[in-house]
Structure 1
Amino acid sequence: MTWDHFIFFAIPSVLLWTVASAWALRRPKKTLPALFTVLGLGVFFSFILGMWISLERPPLRTMGETRLWYSFFLPVAGLITYQRWGYKWILSFSTILSAVFIVVNIAKPDIHNKVLMPALQSPWFAPHVIIYMFSYAILGAVTLVALYYLFREEKLQDKERIMDMTDNLVYVGVAFVTMGMLMGAIWAKEAWGHYWSWDPKETWAAATWLGYLVYIHYRLLKTSK
């Protein structure tokens, strides 16, 4: 599998996600939207798997490879939100965001080199990055829900339900961020001899984690009063 094949997987995936989004907006049943979304995810992941095999390493090194995972996990997060809380618009938003990353990858693909530096040749590398990608996709879905709430607050009839959904998604996202940070610390210890070095990625990950912890504690304290 090479990068030249990407468009043949990306377009069918986006089309399937678009059908799922349109069906969800027009019909009350969740079965077909879920089915089309899963089919699209299957098509898209088959390209990721093919790249993994051809590169002989996880496709997680370059920005283009990272965008692949964002494109994959955004519809996953949208599907989870839709199935659990029934908000039909979330599939459309997650599809649009995923399509943006896909278009960028089609327009400006990175060179996918097989060479992986020794520090990245660790069993912690793939789960650490994949868990981070999933957590950021979940938190991205939270951002969409929050924006929806802010722009339509005066017209909403179910504000408490939306806030509960936001809280639950934040709990899931923060849990996965925590797992990703712990795995990253173990990996850093094995590769560089220390758990934490305060480089830009680690600093922003810590800032994100702390910011969401403040939100969680604020919501819990407010609810308890």
Structure 2
Amino acid sequence: MSDDIFREVDDAMRMERLRKSARRFAGLGLAGLILIGAGIGGWEYYLSSLHKDALAKSTTYLGALRDLGSDSSVAGTSLPLTPAQQKALTALTEVGQASPSGLATLAQLREASSYATHGKTQEALRIWDTIQQDTKLDATLRHVATLLWCQWQVDSGDIATIRSRLSLLSNESKPFAALANEQLAVLDLRAGDTKSARDRLTRLQQDFNAPNGVRMRAGGLLQTLDQQG
């Protein structure tokens, strides 16, 4: 689901940036539109600074993403990192420690996701928690960290704490509202509040502004609930 969330986050961020840029540059075209995503984040930083050091860090970041790939698993068990993936993860760690905040945060988000998938959940949670509490960082990146922090605790973490954090992102005016409400529906099911879960899932399934993955999962959960009576 981590790969899904990054893809859906990327889609949501693209739409949110498009809306903001359309307002700011109305009549001037959309050249220069900033898009944050798996590989685009490094390119964004390169465009903002043409120094050799910036180019080197962006190149390292993009190369690390390519070599790390997706965090594969078999029957729910993560496959061991290959030597190339381990090297890529080390490179991401270095970018996350030595780069300006935007690129460093992108590297830290991907690094933490890999940690979580390969069993180092507490380390991943610590990274995501640090990002989401740093008010100096871009709000979008902080929201991504919040979503990932909650995703990895939705099955066993403190329900009240998770719900509190997700509620800040669940308003329909927020770019990641669909993802936040999907996790809130899972929390409702965990808490035994089937009615609230059904209501959320129904709204998500009917929300054509929500990512396709979210709508499909909402529909699948509703079918499961119907089968269970």
TM-score band, normalised by the shorter chain? Answer: 0.3 to 0.5
Greater percentage in helix: 1
| Higher relative contact order, structure no. (Cα contacts within 8 Å, ≥ 6 residues apart) | 1
TM-score by length of 2: 0.35
